[in-house]
Each structure stands twice: as C-alpha cells, then as structure tokens.
Amino acid sequence: MDKYNQAIADCGVTTDDAVVAAKVNEILEKHLEENRRPEVLRQCFNSIDLTTLKTTDSQRSVADFVERVNAFEHEHPDLPPVAAICVYPNFVPIVRTVLDVSEVDIAAVAGCFPSAQSFIEVKVAEIGLAVEAGADEIDVVLPLGDFFDKDYEEVCDQLTEMKHSCREAICKVILETGALKTAENIRNASVLALYSGADFLKTSTGKENPGASLEAAYIMCECIREYYEKTGRMVGFKVAGGVATTEEALKYYTVVREVLGEKWVQTNEYFRIGASRLANNLLGDILGTETKFF
C-alpha cells in the first residue's frame, strides 16, 4: 500500500452517510439554540470572506466593492470587520490599493479556479502572481479528475506544488464536496489535502456543483480534528457555496464548534464563511433592522 492509501486507511473518520447525518442532527438539536447569541452573530460576521467572483467584475466594480468595506469601519466602528475580501487574482492589485482596513485580509481564488483544469505550471504561476500582487490568502481547487481516477500521487503532488507557490500566504484547498457526493470521497479528499499541507479545508467553489452541506462540513471537521490530534497542527475550516442566511451560518458555526472546539471559532483565524449575500443578512440581524450595506 502506498503512503497515500495508507494515510486514508489510517483515518478513523466514519464513511457511513447515515451515521454522519444522524451526528449532524444530534449536534444541532443539542447545541444550536445556545449559539443564538449576539456575540456569536458578531463572530460569524467577523469570519466572512466577502466575495465577488462574477464574470462581469471590473476594476471599477471591485474598487467600489472594497470601498464599502472601508466605509463599514467608519459607519459601524463598534462592530468587527469581515475577515477578508475574496476576488479573482487579477483584481488583487486593486484591492491592495483601495483597501484601508488593516484587519481585513486579501484572498484570491487561483490555480485555474473553479475547474482546476490546466497545466500545473499555469496553476503555480497564477498563484505566484497573486501572492506577488499582495494576496494574503489563496483558495485553490483539489484536482477532482485525478482524484476520481484514484491517482492520489498526482493529487498530492499538485496540491504540494500549489502550497509551495503560496509561500507565506495561507493556502485554502477547496474539495468541491458537491461533486464528491459521498462521505467516503469527502473523507479521502480531506486526508489527501491535509497531508499535502493545506492551511484550510474549504467545502465548495459555489460555481459548478452543489454547494456546501452540513454533512460535508462534519466529515471535514472530523478529519481536521483527527489530523490535529496526530500532528499538533491546527488547520482551518471554510464553508462556502450557498451560505446566505443567519440560520445557515449558525448551523455551520455550531457543527465546527462542537467537532473542533471553541478555539477554532473564537477568532477568524481558523473559521471562515465564504459569502456574498450573507453579510447583509447577518448585519441586519445584528443591528435589528434590514440592511443592504454591502
């Protein structure tokens, strides 16, 4: 057995979809209500990677997008900012120029997002360019074709190269759980990404396949927990792909908190929510009035 299949075989995380669904329901029944607190809403807001990934994005539209984050600091100085602004790599220089809020990171999708279908040389070049332009965080996609071919060596080689190209930037690996579908596939992909050096596991691109699910989040967090127990290295979790309401955000927060523990959710260092619509909904619930700030 090669080291890739050995790492998967050594993982004790369940691959029974029914068990996973039951565990998620149990967590929510026991703990969701206790997280309906103002401080949790604020923490969820502070964990948002505010995202614009449209084909119509332009230098002007991205600059205007960033200016809303700048304005938020002045209009709501009592509230924490979002965690990061997430854009296509060619817009990183615009965000770097316009952004005035030092606590907000610059994230870029790179490595031929969202399909990850290109030469590895193109992927690492795009990542390197994004980091050189000022990206603090890079979101890359696990090569799903190679994964389904069970060419785990190629999957890990590509992820390792992309991680290396990130240099000091945080590397978030998108599993595209909607395409993986089963608990077994999500577990196996999580293990490969973790042992390839991922700093975060992320659910979805939100582009080509079904988005995030609570069941996928549970499996990924269980893999992160087991990896932490074996290695002592904390790896973050990012949910993305269809998270739009406060209720959805609270459910993911609850799953992450119960599986991984308080230290994963007490800051935005290890917990993120990739969203474009969620920010206004969360902000409205925090303020007690409907808002269209972003």
User: Of these residues, 163, 172, 238, 251, which one is catalytic?
Assistant: 238
* Annotation says 238 is catalytic: yes
Burial class of 211 by CB neighbour count within 10 A (0 to 12, 13 to 18, 19+): buried
The answer to whether the CB of 255 falls within 8 A of the CB of 221 is: yes
Residue with tokens 């854009």: 87
How far lies 114's CA from each of 139, 143, 185, in Å?
10, 10, 19
The answer to whether the CB of 31 falls within 8 A of the CB of 254 is: yes
- Helices (H) and strands (E) counted in the chain, each on its own, are 13, 8
* Annotation says 30 is catalytic: no
The answer to whether the CB of 198 falls within 8 A of the CB of 172 is: yes
User: Of these residues, 23, 123, 163, 202, which one is catalytic?
Assistant: 202
Q: Single out the residue of 84, 144, 82 nearest to residue 108, CA to CA.
A: 84
Instruction: Count CB neighbours of 88 within 10 A.
Output: 18
User: Of these residues, 23, 105, 123, 139, which one is catalytic?
Assistant: 139
> What phi, psi does 85 have (nearest 5°)?
-110, 125
Which residues are part of the catalytic machinery?
A: 139, 202, 238
